[in-house]
Amino acid sequence: MASILESLTEQLTITEYGDWLVFVERLDQAVRSGCVRKVPVIKQVWARDEEWFLDPATAEIYVYAPPNPPSLPIWERVDVLRRDGMPDAPPLSIFKTGPITVMMAHVMKLRLEALVSRGLAEELPAPVAVRQSKDRTEKWYKDMVSNVVYRLSEYYSLHDADDLRWEVVPQALLNAKIQ
């Protein structure tokens, strides 16, 4: 069973305007009814104007950052038990590696732009061997904290299923690029 904070986004994609409006109304109603409480932000996670919300029944806390174009709204659980002094996870490791959906690729691109603009990631030129074709693109990003290089590859085929992936660039490809 989903917690009340988790359930606020059930059957919604808050990156879509109509669903975001429904989400905001659900959140406001949960706060008004007392099922959820707004709490002070201990350590900013995403944005200056983010807000934190507590489910008193489960002690879960979620962060909400409203949309601020080009940034999309954010709603995710916050780990407040993480000890101070522990290093933050490398920025690009927040994205799950492997196959992704078209919507996830869109959201990732927006977040990647924000990470690059904040200096937490760097967009690298893809090697000549994997330059863009009409049905395939590849963008490479270096995590400035961990120095790990990732790639977002998108393959849109007219004959096969689309293949979108976020993955760590194999060391062999990195070595080939250097030479």
Output the DSSP codes for 137-173. Answer: EEEEEEETTT--EEEEEEE--SSS--EEEEEEPPHHH
Sequence letter at residue 34 = G
| Structure confidence at residue 86 (pLDDT) | 45
- Helix (H) or strand (E) holding 20, with range, is helix 17-33
Q: For residues 59 and 16, give the distance between their C-alpha atoms in angstroms, rounded to a whole number.
A: 28
Q: In the chain, what is the greatest distance between 2 CA atoms, to the nearest angstrom?
A: 62
Q: List Cβ<8 Å contacts ≥24 apart for 82-85.
A: none
8 Å CB contact between 72 and 64: no
Backbone angles phi, psi at 69, to 5 degrees: -45, 135
pLDDT score of 113: 86
Of residues 128 and 63, the one with the higher pLDDT is 63
The b/e string for 130-169 (b: 16+ C-beta within 10 A; e otherwise) is: beeeeeebbbbbbbbeeeebbbbbbeeeeeeeeebebeeb
Q: Would you kindly state where each structural domain of the chain is located, as residue ranges?
A: 4-78, 91-178
Q: What local confidence, expressed as pLDDT, does residue 173 receive?
A: 74
How high is the pLDDT of residue 2? 65
Identity of the amino acid at 2: A
Q: Model-level pTM?
A: 0.50
CB-CB contact of 106 with 177 (8 Å)? no
Exposure of 117 in the CB half-sphere (CA atoms within 13 A): 8
Q: Is the pLDDT of residue 142 over 50?
A: yes
Residues of the chain with pLDDT > 90, as a percent, come to 18
Please report the pLDDT score of residue 16 as a whole number: 87
The identity of residue 172, as a single letter, is A
Q: pLDDT tens digit string along 31-89? A: 999 999 998 887 777 777 889 998 887 778 898 988 877 778 888 888 765 544 445 67
